Structures are given as C-alpha cells and as structure tokens.
Copies of this chain bind each other. A is one copy, B any other.
Amino acid sequence: MNSNQEVIRRLSRYRNVMRKMKGLGLVKVFSDNLADAVGVSPSLVRKDFSMFNLTGNKRGGYRIDDLVTKLNTLLGKDKKQKIIIIGCGKLGQALMNHNGFPRVGIRVVAGFDSDPAVLNAEAPIPILHVKDIKEFIAENEIRVAALTVPEPAAQGMIDTLRKTCVKGVINFAPLTLKSSDDFLIHNMNIEQEIENLFYNIHFAESNPVENLVA
C-alpha cells in the first residue's frame, strides 16, 4: 500500500524525539512540537499520523506513551532485529562494537570475513569465515546484513546473499547496488555524501550551470 520511504524515516524521528520528551517527563505532545523538533511542518506531522491511523485528541494533542507504543509496533521494534556484518575491517569492526545498537533493539549476531587473520569464533560476537555464511544465515534466520567489504567484493556478496533468506542489506561499499522488490539494498555512500556537501557549499549559492559554462 504505502511504499514511501521518507514517511517511515519521519515516523522514526518522531518516535525518537518523543522518547526524549518522555525522558523529560512530558506526557502529551502537539503536532506543532513535533514539527519544530523534527524540522517539518505541523500539517505534515498530522498527515503522516493520519496516514497510519495514529490518532490524537481533538484538543490536547497526542499521548506520547500511546504513540511511541504504536510506532514501535508499526516500525517492528517489538521484534528482535538480528543483523550480521560482512567484512570485518575498520568499518565492519566499528559496527560490530557499536554500543548504540542494543539500545534500539538491534543485535549484531556475527561477523564474516575472508581473511583468516581476523577470524575469531570464540568472541562474544564471533567472526566466522565467509564460506560458512549461507549455513549460518539459514540456521539463524538472518534477514538483514551490513555489507562492509571492499568495493570489488560487494556485488559478488550480494549475489550470494540473494540465494539466502536475507531480504535487506545496508551497503557501505562506495557503489550503488540495485534493490529489487524482494531484496532491499540501502546504499550508504559516505564518500558521495561528503562530495555532495562540498558541492552544496561551493556551488549551490552561485549558479552551477553558469560556473560550468563559463
């Protein structure tokens, strides 16, 4: 029905700020407050909620507790969210040891690498050889993987993952891997986003076309 990615990200953000508001002792919240906090318009907040049947009170706003609970259900946070990390180099190990994941219900259950030197099956989060990945995924019903292998290995690994029950990948290799309906890939291209920042800083105010043509 609804395949808009942005609205889901906003729902996530609304929930995150509401969690903080709750921490401050707040009980209810208005579309205006959420709009300010998240940086969108109040009507968009209401539209977003309306779209998912998240209702408030005609006067008195939304009950934070209530909304957070509903959003958790909606966003699937009531389920365990197990992930594996493929490629345990600099970035992969940072992800494996990231202490923010447990806080939001994401659990890294294993890492995989092709280099025997980094393997460690006995660690709290084991690093296993990538040759055993299919078996592991099947046994542990893994649905999501983070891909942190070098660029040349990325597409090959995707081809392997497609043959498993993995259904979503967050890719950090600097190339745009293509998603399909039954196999979602979210590309996090850090290099590209930095380039993009430079572009916007450097050229955005002046007319980029003229810069080029001149």
CB contact under 8 A between A144 and B201, given known A188-B190, A191-B100, A207-B1: yes
Q: Interface stretch among A3-11, A26-34, A117-125?
A: A3-11
Min C-beta distance of A57 to chain B, whole Å: 18
For residue A63, CB closer than 8 A to chain B, the reply is no
Task: Let me know if B197 and A144 touch, CB within 8 A.
Answer: yes
A24 at the A/B interface (Cβ < 8 Å)? Answer: no
> A77 on the interface (CB 8 Å rule)?
yes
Each complex incorporates copies of this chain amounting to: 2
Chain A residues in the interface with B (C-beta under 8 A): 1-3, 5, 8-9, 12-13, 16, 38-39, 51-54, 70, 73-77, 79, 81, 83, 90-91, 93-95, 97-98, 100-101, 104, 106, 143-144, 146, 151, 167-170, 174-176, 178, 184, 186, 188, 190-204, 207-209, 211-213
List 11 A-B pairs, Cβ < 8 Å: A16-B176, A51-B209, A70-B212, A75-B198, A76-B195, A90-B94, A101-B191, A143-B201, A144-B194, A170-B190, A170-B193
Give the complex CA separation of A143 and B94 in angstroms: 26
- Min CB gap A15→B, angstroms: 9
| B100 and A202 contact, CB distance less than 8 A | no
A83: B residues at CB distance < 8 A: 194
Closest CB of chain B to A189's CB: distance in Å? 8
User: A195's contact among B12, B52, B95, B169, by CB below 8 Å, is which?
Assistant: B12
Among B186, B192, B200, the residue within 8 A (CB) of A184 is B200
Q: Is the CB–CB distance between B13 and A176 below 8 Å?
A: yes
Chain B residue contacts of A202, Cβ below 8 A? 76, 79
- Given contact pairs A2-B208, A53-B212, enumerate 5 new A-B contacts (beta carbons under 8 Å): A52-B212, A54-B212, A74-B211, A76-B199, A91-B94
CA distance A206 to B47 in the complex (A): 21
Our pick among B98, B186, B197 for the contact of A196 (Cβ within 8 Å) is B186
Known: A144-B201, A176-B39. A12 touches B194 (CB 8 A): no
